[in-house]
Amino acid sequence: MIPNQWYGILESKEVKKGKPIGFTRMGEKMVAWRDRSGQVTVMSDLCPHRGVALSAGKLVDDCIQCPFHGFEYDSSGDCRFIPANGKNSQPPKAMHVKTYVSREAHDIIFIWWGEPQEEYPPLPWFENIGADMVYSTIRNHWKNHYARAIENQLDVVHLPFVHYNTIGSGNRALVNGPVAKEFQLAAGNYRLDMWVDNQSDQGQKPTKPSDMPEPTHRPLIQFHFPNLWQNWLSDDFLVFLIFAPIDNENTMMYLRQYHKMRIPVLRQLFEFFGGLGNLYILNQDKRVVVTQRPPRPDLDIGEILISGDYPIALYRKRRRMLIGKD
C-alpha cells in the first residue's frame, strides 16, 4: 500500500449506530462503530487482553465492549473499564487498541494509512461531483490486488476486446495516445487525468502519446491517488469507483453512478437499469483482470508495455515513488 494517504474504505451506510461492524482492509482486521453523536471510530478488531474480535461485542456508553470479559475501549482505543478489577480501578495504559485516524465525507469513511501528522492533507475528491448530484452504489468483490483493478480502469487498449458488446463496441482498436497528465494537488497528493482517442483501424498510423495535441476539453477519466476514480461522462452523469484494498489479493469495488435525476419513480428506474448495465460491464473486466499474474503490478514484473499503456506506466511510476522505492 502507498503510505501516508487517505484511503476510502467503506460507505457511511455500512456503519450503523448501535452495532459495530467487522471487516478487513489493508490486510488487517478492523472494526468500525458510531458513538451516540454519530461519530465514526475505526480500530483494530482485536482485544489486547485475549485476542477476541471486538466486532463481536456491543456498544456501551460510547465505548466498544469486548464480548469475552467485558473490557471497554473508547474512541481513542484506551481501555476505560475492566470489570474484573472493579469500578474504581484504573486500567493499565498498555491495554490499548490500535485506532486509525478517520474522516467521513461524501458518504464515505476514509482512514489515514501512515504516520501521524501534525496537520493532515485534504481528503481526496473530485470537485465536479457537486451536492446537487445523487447516486446509487454497487459493491463487487474482486480477487486481485487493488492496483490491478485500478490499472484496468486506466487501460484503453482492452476496450474493444473485453467490452466488445458494451462500451467497446465499434471495434475502435487503434489507440491514439492516450494523453495522460499528472497533477500534484498537495504534498503526496496526486491525480491523473486522461483523454481517450480510440479509432477504427483504416490503415492509419496511431499517434504516439508525445505527439498528441494539447487537449482543450475536460478529461474523460480521472484517478485520484490512492484509490478513487471517475469516468466523467458529462456534467450531469458520471461513474465513480472506490478500490478498497482488502488484502494483497482481494479488493472491494464500490461503484457509484452519480446523476441529477431526482424525480422519484424515474430515479429508481434510472438507477436500477443503470446499475444492471454497470455491473455487467464491471463483470466483463473482472473475468479477465482476476487472472493477471503476478497479483501485484510494478514496473519490473516482466510485462512489456506498449504506447497505449502510457497511463498505466505513469501510474506505476508515481505509485513506486510514493511507496518509497527508487
Looking at per-residue confidence, does 290 or 325 come out higher? 290
Q: What are the structural domains of the chain?
A: 5-113 (2.102.10.10), 134-323 (3.90.380.10)
Arithmetic mean of pLDDT, 176-192: 93
Arithmetic mean of pLDDT, 178-188: 91
Given pLDDT bands bounded at 50, 70 and 90, which one contains residue 187?
Answer: confident
Give tens-digit pLDDT for 209-267: 999 999 999 999 999 999 999 999 999 999 999 999 999 999 999 999 999 999 999 99
pLDDT of residue 188: 81
Given pLDDT bands bounded at 50, 70 and 90, which one contains residue 326?
Answer: very low
φ, ψ of residue 185 in degrees (nearest 5): -95, -30
Given pLDDT bands bounded at 50, 70 and 90, which one contains residue 310?
Answer: very high
C-alpha cell of 127? Answer: 470537485
pLDDT of residue 325: 61
Whole-angstrom Cα distance, residue 255 to residue 104? 18
Arithmetic mean of pLDDT, 62-80: 97
C-alpha cell of 86? Answer: 472493579
Give all strands (DSSP E) within 12-130, no chain letters.
Answer: 21-25, 28-34, 40-44, 58-60, 63-65, 72-73, 79-81, 99-100, 102-105, 108-113
